[in-house]
Amino acid sequence: MTIRHILLSIYGLVFAQCFFYLPITVVHTIYSSGPLFVLAIDYFLHHIVITRRQLIGVICAFMGVLLTINGHVIYTLFDANDAHDSKFKYYRPESENPLIQLAACLILTICTIGWAYAIVIVKQTKGVNHYQLNFHYGIILIAMTGCVYQQTTVQ
């Protein structure tokens, strides 16, 4: 379970840091694809049988991720003459270098797959002390926070 906690901690750290390198929509699109990875990993790792309802759910989730990528598709279903011309931007990421953004996307996707694996391995923890697991998870989170903490001085 320590592996699970380390994976979750790394995922949280990478997820938070990606907001500085990627637009919000891209970060949340990759984040929203996590349950799809959970099903795929569970299918290959535990050889689960995917029911018809689960398959419909996966298709709906996949369509939701696609719509998150390009929400204009939904607008054209309601109004074919819709001209999406908004100039609104949330904020600019610190890096506009495409290679850095691609690297951030790949790292976040790999960490999302690690998060999905961490979710799946919970099935193997029947009969363990969950208080002890959460205590260790807290210690790992505190250690991770200490690694990225930067002290600032007030002048």
Report CA torsion sign: 47, 48, 49, 50: negative
**Confidence (pLDDT) at 19:** 81
Q: For residue 21, give its domain range.
A: 2-148
Distances (CA, A) of 95 to 4, 12, 51, 61, 103: 31, 20, 43, 30, 11
Residue 88 has pLDDT above 80, yes or no: no
Averaged pLDDT score across all residues of the chain:
75
121 in a domain, yes or no? yes
Between 24 and 78, name the one with better pLDDT: 24
**Confidence (pLDDT) at 82:** 60
**Confidence (pLDDT) at 90:** 52
pTM of the model: 0.67
The answer to whether the CB of 27 falls within 8 A of the CB of 18 is yes
154 in a domain, yes or no? no
70 in a domain, yes or no? yes
155 in a domain, yes or no? no
* Closest-CA residue to 138 (of 149, 128, 130): 130
User: Into how many domains does the chain fold?
Assistant: 1
Between 57 and 1, name the one with better pLDDT: 57
Tens digits of residue pLDDT in 32-52: 888 888 888 888 888 888 889
* Closest-CA residue to 7 (of 122, 119, 115, 142): 115
105 in a domain, yes or no? yes
Distances (CA, A) of 6 to 10, 52, 118: 6, 34, 9
153 in a domain, yes or no? no
φ/ψ of 79, rounded to 5, equals -145, 110
40 in a domain, yes or no? yes
The answer to whether the CB of 5 falls within 8 A of the CB of 137 is yes
Tens digits of residue pLDDT in 90-115: 555 566 777 888 888 899 999 889 88
**Confidence (pLDDT) at 91:** 52
Helices 24-32 and 52-69 meet at what angle, rounded to 10?
170
* Closest-CA residue to 140 (of 1, 5, 39, 15): 5
Query: For 14-28, what is the mean pLDDT?
Result: 82
6 in a domain, yes or no? yes
CA atoms within 13 A of residue 120's CA, in its CB half-sphere: 21
Residue 151 has pLDDT above 60, yes or no: no
**Confidence (pLDDT) at 83:** 61
Query: For 114-130, what is the mean pLDDT?
Result: 77
